[in-house]
Structure 1
Amino acid sequence: MATQNGQDDAGSQPTRFESQWDQLTTGFGTRWNRFNVWRTQRPFLGGVLLCLAGILIAWVPMQILPDLLFIGGGMTGFLVIGTTFGVFVFLSGVYALYKPEHSREAGVVGVVLSILSLFGSLGGLLFGMLFGIIGGNLCFAWRPDDERDDEDDASEPGRVETVRSRLLEQLRDVAGAVSGRLRNGVEAITGGESDE
């Protein structure tokens, strides 16, 4: 019986391993799918860029601030302000990810604080400021899918499309008249050359 149980245990090992692997991969697949659904319902790239910008903006003064706090100096206030700007830029990115319906406001705050961080922390060596401006604009421009669908279903053209279509018609008329005159001029020139 011991050998039979030993054979049964040896025979069931691969199936046990396969079932555990299937459970692991199935769990990973569902988690990844849930993450993708969560990611598409918010300004993900804009929020991540704002968080990265906040880290870069706060990193620069945090390298100098501990030494100046110990020694004391006139630059301490600017470095504290730079660190505060970095923290608030990071928090605006987190807020845009957490509350996507307020992403426009979070984007504006992120852009303004990223620009102001130039005075307190050199804008995170300018890379933090650049990432903050890009991330804030992405958060500002992001709209939920249902708002995009509503704009696509608009039946009547707006004022901009009406003016655009009028301008295109006038441009076609002018281009047709110019091309007709050019054609007549070329024919006149080529006809004059054949007479000689």
Structure 2
Amino acid sequence: MSPESTGQNEHYLTVYRRGFRTWRGNRPFWAGLFTILGGVPIAYFPYANMHLGNMTIAMSTTAGAGSLIIGVLLVTLGLTMWFHHIVRVFAGVAAILLALISIPVANIGGFIIGFLFSLLGGALSIAWAPGEAEEDVPEAREHGQEPHGTAEAPRKQRLFGVATEADGGGHRAG
């Protein structure tokens, strides 16, 4: 063994943490987490009972089954964002729609808590985009090339499909 190899000396928690960070970075993790956290209060509050001394306050409504369905669907959409991130846009739109439907159906969207978490999770899921691998960048620089996307802007600049003055006139772009 060489002194540079640290693979076998690492603690198993460090290995798991790095693996989790890699897994988390390849999917809309926070979007799924917020959607799951939004679905839990929406499904829970209509079936919860609060005890104040000897008095029991039941928050159940006539739409208890509807709020349970909305909550379970939001949790399912959050898990879908994690494990099938290819359908993240669909899951995000569905989470936003379910969050909006939960306002009249499920005790004002789980007392606004579930509504806000689900809305934020859906928006994060729609906005998330997978990162690009940076493996090719050092190789391209070694060979004297610019990596893809970092080259200078082209001399001909077009705005809304029409050539600008730097282009030499106002002719239509092709």
**TM-score normalised by the chain length of structure 2:** 0.64
Residues of 1 paired with 2:128 and 2:94: CA distance? 15
After TM superposition, where is structure 1 displaced by more than 6 Å over at least 4 residues in a row?
154-157
Alignment of 1:4-153 (within 5 A): 26-63=11-48, 75-76=61-62, 78-121=63-106, 122-146=108-132, 153=149
Letter in 1 for 2:90: E
Q: Secondary structure of 2:27's match?
A: coil
Q: Secondary structure of 2:38's match?
A: helix
Residues 83 and 120, structure 1, Cα contact 8 Å, conserved in 2? no
More helix by share: 1
Residues of 1 paired with 2:73 and 2:9: CA distance? 39
**Alignment length, in residue pairs?**
130
Q: Against the structure 1 CA distance between its residues 80 and 24, is the aligned structure 2 distance closer, same or farther, given a 3 Å change threshold?
A: farther
More strand by share: 2
Residues of 1 paired with 2:44 and 2:126: CA distance? 25
Residues 46 and 61, structure 2, Cα contact 8 Å, conserved in 1? no
CA drift of 1:80 comes to: 0.8
* Percent pairwise identity: 27
Letter in 1 for 2:17: W
Q: Secondary structure of 1:145's match?
A: coil
Residues of 2 paired with 1:137 and 1:30: CA distance? 32
CA drift of 1:146 comes to: 3.4
Letter in 2 for 1:162: L
Structure 2 residue runs without a partner (length 5+): 1-7, 50-59, 134-147, 167-174
CA RMSD between the two structures: 3.3
Residues 82 and 119, structure 1, Cα contact 8 Å, conserved in 2? no
Q: Which residue of 2 aligns with 1:7?
A: none
Residues of 2 paired with 1:130 and 1:75: CA distance? 21
Structure 1 residue runs without a partner (length 5+): 1-22, 65-73, 170-196
Residues of 1 paired with 2:122 and 2:25: CA distance? 17
Residues of 2 paired with 1:117 and 1:40: CA distance? 30
Residues of 2 paired with 1:128 and 1:99: CA distance? 23
2:159 corresponds, among 157, 162, 167, to 162
Q: Secondary structure of 2:68's match?
A: helix
**TM-score normalised by the chain length of structure 1:** 0.58
